[in-house]
Amino acid sequence: MKQNLTIQFVYPAYEIPKEHQEAIETIDHVKIMPASCKDGARSVSTTADVLVFNSCKDAINRVSTENDDKILVLRMCGRDAWQCVSIPDTDALPCVSTITTNRLNIIITDTETFTEKDFENYKQWLSELATTVVETYGNTSPHNGKIPQINLLTDRILLKKMNNCNAGVENITLAPNGKFYICPAFYYDDEKDDVGSLKDGLNIKNQQLYKLEYAPLCRNCDAYQCKRCVWLNKKTTLEVNTPSHEQCVAAHLERNASEKLLNELKTKGYFPDVKIPAIDYLDPFERITNL
């Protein structure tokens, strides 16, 4: 409260102690909860602000009308996504009904392992996903104020500048051990990789490197929907401000899919003034090295 910060509590799958629950309710906050979370006698569907599913199957089995006012997060590996396309009668977008009322964020958890074949599959999957989104928009009016959102496709249409994670700049993580981390991934990867504590305060070395203006590739990029994950950067390139080939290609495949989706939605009266220019590359680094 003294620092005017917004607190987001990331819940575990098990029920937290009653005294913790009571303490949480004494301050404004956002609850990010796994769908499998135990929250006493209360339903997670009614208490969570952000509901997280860990697989397609998990989402399909658990999504209900109770979740219509939630932000839903679907975490899945790429190969599960490709399977959604290849299996007959399986929606390319699980829980498609939810995007007509709120927002669905899909997080692909294994981008750093993608091969060229995976990129081809991702491109096809995004195309299938876009078809589902177009059908959803077809059931709504461009002027009714309700715009279905799915991060991988509609964010690039709605954004006018980079809107990345900004871990280490606008967000910081306080772990259960009382120490600060750039984001939860740093904590889960290595508890020794902290950047301070409640006792000693924050100590982020070379903090400027987490800022967009210190990321040479990213600051000139227009894949505005890219997470620009600094943890993944460090894991794959050893530099928090330098993305991997895999992260860049995946983000540009999403960008290009958004461009095609935008052109389709324009024929239905949506976003007449929005433009996403065509590009002839998927990895900005390769474009630079070819100049």
Note the pLDDT tens digit of each residue in 203-213: 999 999 999 99
pLDDT in tens, 223-246: 999 999 999 999 999 999 999 999
* 181-190 LR contacts (CB < 8 Å, sep 24+): 182/210, 182/230, 182/231, 182/240, 183/230, 183/231, 184/10, 185/229, 185/231, 185/232, 186/231, 189/231, 189/235
pLDDT in tens, 85-133: 554 444 445 444 444 447 889 999 999 999 999 999 999 999 988 988 8
**Exposure string for 117-156, b = 16+ CB within 10 A, e = fewer:** ebbebbbebbbbbbebbbebbeeeeeeeeebbbbbbbbbb
Q: What is the pLDDT of residue 291?
A: 47
Q: How confident is the model at residue 149 (pLDDT cuts 50, 70, 90)?
A: confident
Q: What is the pLDDT of residue 87?
A: 44
Q: How confident is the model at residue 290 (pLDDT cuts 50, 70, 90)?
A: low
- In the predicted model, is pLDDT for residue 281 greater than 90? yes
pLDDT in tens, 177-221: 999 999 999 999 999 999 999 999 999 999 999 999 999 999 999
**The pair of three-digit structure tokens given for residue 98, joined into one six-digit string:** 């939810």
- In the predicted model, is pLDDT for residue 146 greater than 80? no
Q: How confident is the model at residue 252 (pLDDT cuts 50, 70, 90)?
A: very high
Q: How confident is the model at residue 148 (pLDDT cuts 50, 70, 90)?
A: confident
- In the predicted model, is pLDDT for residue 283 greater than 70? yes
Q: What is the pLDDT of residue 144?
A: 57
How much is the pTM?
Answer: 0.88
Q: What is the pLDDT of residue 85?
A: 54
Q: How confident is the model at residue 139 (pLDDT cuts 50, 70, 90)?
A: low
- In the predicted model, is pLDDT for residue 279 greater than 70? yes
**The pair of three-digit structure tokens given for residue 70, joined into one six-digit string:** 């939630």
Q: State how far the Cα of 220 lies from the Cα of 35, in Å rounded to an integer.
A: 38
Phi first, then psi: what are they for 42, rounded to 5°?
-80, 150
DSSP element (H, E) containing 255: helix 245-266
Q: What is the pLDDT of residue 204?
A: 95
Q: Name the DSSP class of 281.
A: -
CA-atom Rg of the chain in angstroms: 20
Q: What is the pLDDT of residue 119?
A: 95
Lowest-confidence segment of 56-65, 76-85, 282-291 by average pLDDT: 56-65
Q: What is the pLDDT of residue 128?
A: 87
- In the predicted model, is pLDDT for residue 286 greater than 90? no
Q: State how far the Cα of 196 lies from the Cα of 194, in Å rounded to an integer.
A: 6
Q: Check if the beta carbon of residue 63 is closer than 8 Å to that of residue 72.
A: yes
Burial class from Cβ neighbours inside 10 Å (0-12, 13-18, 19+) for residue 189 reads middle
Q: What is the pLDDT of residue 95?
A: 47
Q: State how far the Cα of 58 lies from the Cα of 51, in Å rounded to an integer.
A: 12
